[in-house]
Amino acid sequence: MEGLLKSSVVKSIVFSSFDEFGPMPKYMFPNPVSEKDQKESSEQVFTIRDYTQISIKNLSLLIEDQVTTSDENFAKLKYFAVIPYPDFNITALTFFHFIKIQGKENPIPTAFAIMVDENKRSFLYNNISTIQTIIFDLFIKFDDDIAKGFKPLEQIKHHFTELMEKIVKMEKDPIVPITSERKLKIVYLGLDSAGKTSFLLTVDRKYSRLIGLKPTRGANISTIESLGATISLWDLGGQAKFRERYLSKSKIYLYEADLLFFFIDVKENNRFDESIEYLKNIKERLDQFDQKTPIICILTKADPDIINSRKIQKNINKITSKIRELDLNETIEIHVTSIFSIFSILRAFSSGISRLSPNRDLLNHNLKGFSEKNKLFLTLILTADGLVLSDYYTKGYLLFREFLEFEDYAGETKEFEERKIRDVFEISAPQFAIIYKIFSKFKALKKEEAIFKISYSVILLKRTILSGNEIFILILIDDEDKKDEINASLEDFITRNKDLLLRYIS
Ligand SMILES: Nc1nc2c(ncn2[C@@H]2O[C@H](COP(=O)(O)OP(=O)(O)OP(=O)(O)O)[C@@H](O)[C@H]2O)c(=O)[nH]1
Ligand SMILES: [Mg+2]
């Protein structure tokens, strides 16, 4: 094992569990050294105290903001997160899950961390899906092995050796070189005039350039720096002659894409089949590369003045079912947008970016716990650009809507049920518009905290700085008197989750 670790980017691995004595490191590689040996060592080595500190930090991320759920559901909770440990100059990919052990009443929270040097963390991001699969495989066997109780290190060691063998093998055949920065490739695809360049410019806030937009000739690659990562945006002009080129040279255009946005103009129902054909061809290429690139479908040009019209609603339904036919596993996310509703574009873009975050699920889990505990209706964590890093909303939130009547849904047939789900977007749209307006106002105020009243509800806004990045928390409550209590609990939440935000995508 020591040899494997020496030949790998991975410096150390630790499995911790939360037992009667609190968070404890159970299995550690390499073996912890004494404090004296640590002082004398020229390399970085960990003492039992270091490993314990890492275990405490890991497990507190999982268990502090407990979401109300039954034991069986606990067993289903599995999360990955990339977490920094600045004290040790390391970053870890950590796997959290609960293990059922015979004789113990409750499933035991555990954390398993694979640690690399801080400046080599791109290794974790770039190989994340492969490493995740390796870890999943390990714990299927491991959980079985310890179902009757934890075993001595010698009897359990082979699981971890196997994992390291697989990782070392993977490193010999690197997909992407290890750099100190994560590089991401996002590709925009769709027929000509679908609205790709407009979407991109709206995200980029270059409104003035929206007027007199020319068709994109071939690939237009731009780079943005966001959340510590370099993101290259490939805007692939959609005229037929270009489309053929992307498909035949998919090794250049689609290979290694981290995320794909596919655009369809909702007004052009006579081009739906052509669009679907293109999407199908793209999916085939991705499958050839064995690439599990997330696809976000953007239904564009659903402008506020026409979105509720019969025709547009019919078109949305039609294209949605065509996409679903193509994608039986429903991995493709569908968003409805308009350049006249910036928030619709930011929501869709945020949703895509969040797919690139290994920390998204754990962050959402913790935000849910925090929001439930404080009985909040809506909680958003935003960047200064308005990107939503994490969100939580309840049905109660919809009661705040001041624009529509609930009675429409008196008859709860299945059809109504489905319509209701899709309508959540449309119903909440006007409120999001207000929320974004308030958010922009607050940003301009340059204050740390502010309260805005909108009829019967109160929006509480807070600004915080994480390693030089501004982060905003937006909370919707029904009663201003709850403010102090929420504030206290929020401080706590931010402190505990700041590392998940810090390593959101890079
Ligand atoms: N009403 C409305 N028009 C839009 C919207 N988005 C884009 N458009 C218009 O649609 C036209 C085409 O938009 P582009 O963004 O250039 O489309 P594209 O997908 O980049 O087209 P190619 O570069 O040829 O592939 C422009 O005239 C835009 O102003 C929208 O949300 N609503
Ligand atoms: Mg274009």
- Residue 96 within a domain: yes
pLDDT score of 376 more than 60: yes
Same domain? For 456 and 325 the reply is no
Among 108, 140, 172, the domain boundary falls at 172
Distance from C-alpha of 448 to C-alpha of 461, rounded to nearest angstrom: 8
Q: Is the peptide bond before 177 cis (omega within 30 degrees of 0)?
A: no
| pLDDT classification of 152: cutoffs 50, 70, 90 | very high
Same domain? For 217 and 277 the reply is yes
pLDDT > 90 in the chain, percent: 58
Distance from C-alpha of 113 to C-alpha of 14, rounded to nearest angstrom: 5
Find the 203 Cα to ligand 2 centroid distance in Å: 14
Between residues 174 and 491, which one has the greater pLDDT? 491
pLDDT score of 342 more than 90: no
What is the CATH number for 160? 3.30.450
* pLDDT average, residue stretch 11-35: 92
Find the 335 Cα to ligand 1 centroid distance in Å: 16
pLDDT at 204: 81
Q: Atom 27 of ligand 1 has which residue's CA nearest to it?
A: 213
Beta-bridge mates of residue 95 = 80, 112
Same domain? For 336 and 394 the reply is no
- Residue 385 within a domain: yes
pLDDT digits (tens, 9 = 90+) for 236-262: 999 999 999 999 999 899 988 999 999
pLDDT score of 71 more than 80: no
- Residue 178 within a domain: no
The pair phi, psi for residue 99, each rounded to 5°, is: -115, 130
For residue 501 the two structure tokens come to 């935000």
Between residues 211 and 153, which one has the greater pLDDT? 153
Contacting residues for 136 by C-beta, under 8 A, at least 6 apart: none
- Residue 155 within a domain: yes
Same domain? For 54 and 167 the reply is yes
Same domain? For 210 and 118 the reply is no
Mutate to test the pocket of ligand 1, among 187, 189, 197, 274 (most ligand atoms within 8 A of CB): 197
Find which of 93-107, 189-203, 278-292, 368-382 is predicted with most confidence, using mean pLDDT: 189-203
Find the 200 Cα to ligand 2 centroid distance in Å: 9
pLDDT at 399: 52
- Residue 21 within a domain: yes
pLDDT digits (tens, 9 = 90+) for 273-323: 999 999 999 999 998 988 889 999 999 999 988 988 899 989 999 999 999
Find the 302 Cα to ligand 1 centroid distance in Å: 12
Closest atom of ligand 1 to 191 CA is 25
Same domain? For 330 and 405 the reply is no
Q: Of 90, 94, 58, whose CA–CA distance to 79 is shortest?
A: 94
pLDDT at 406: 38
* pLDDT average, residue stretch 36-42: 90
Find which of 62-76, 188-202, 307-321, 341-355 is predicted with most confidence, using mean pLDDT: 188-202
Same domain? For 232 and 331 the reply is yes
- Residue 446 within a domain: yes
Find the 197 Cα to ligand 1 centroid distance in Å: 7
Same domain? For 302 and 426 the reply is no
pLDDT score of 265 more than 70: yes
Q: Atom 12 of ligand 1 has which residue's CA nearest to it?
A: 193
pLDDT at 175: 64
Same domain? For 216 and 328 the reply is yes
Q: Which residues' Cβ are closer than 6 Å to ligand 1?
A: 190, 192-198, 213, 215-216, 237-239, 263, 300-301, 303, 338-339
pLDDT digits (tens, 9 = 90+) for 398-426: 555 443 333 343 444 444 444 444 455 55
pLDDT at 182: 81
- Residue 177 within a domain: no
Ligand nearest to the CA of 212: 1
Closest atom of ligand 1 to 339 CA is 31
Closest atom of ligand 1 to 238 CA is 25
Find the 216 Cα to ligand 2 centroid distance in Å: 4
**Domain ranges, residue 407:** 360-502
Mutate to test the pocket of ligand 1, among 191, 198, 211, 242 (most ligand atoms within 8 A of CB): 198
Q: Of 425, 489, 430, whose CA–CA distance to 460 is shortest?
A: 489
Find the 212 Cα to ligand 1 centroid distance in Å: 10
For residue 471 the two structure tokens come to 């982060």
- Residue 427 within a domain: yes
Between residues 182 and 248, which one has the greater pLDDT? 248
What is the CATH number for 481? 3.30.450.190
pLDDT at 177: 66
pLDDT at 420: 46
Q: Atom 32 of ligand 1 has which residue's CA nearest to it?
A: 301
* pLDDT average, residue stretch 157-183: 84
What is the CATH number for 328? 3.40.50.300
Tally of domains in the chain: 3
User: Lowest mean pLDDT: which of 97-111, 163-177, 424-438?
Assistant: 424-438
Same domain? For 6 and 56 the reply is yes
Among 137, 172, 207, the domain boundary falls at 172
Ligand nearest to the CA of 275: 1
pLDDT > 70 in the chain, percent: 89
Among 172, 191, 222, the domain boundary falls at 172
Task: Using the CB atoms, write b or e for 89-108: b if 16+ within 10 Å.
Answer: ebbbbbbbbbbebeeeeebb
pLDDT digits (tens, 9 = 90+) for 452-470: 887 777 889 999 998 888 9
Cα→Cα distances 4→136, 137, 168, 258, Å: 20, 19, 7, 30
Contact yes or no for 184/358 (Cβ under 8 A): no
pLDDT at 414: 47
Contact yes or no for 266/315 (Cβ under 8 A): yes
Same domain? For 11 and 27 the reply is yes
Contact yes or no for 314/308 (Cβ under 8 A): no
Could you tell me how many residues make up the chain?
Answer: 506
Ligand nearest to the CA of 303: 1
Same domain? For 78 and 148 the reply is yes
Find the 193 Cα to ligand 2 centroid distance in Å: 7
pLDDT at 408: 42
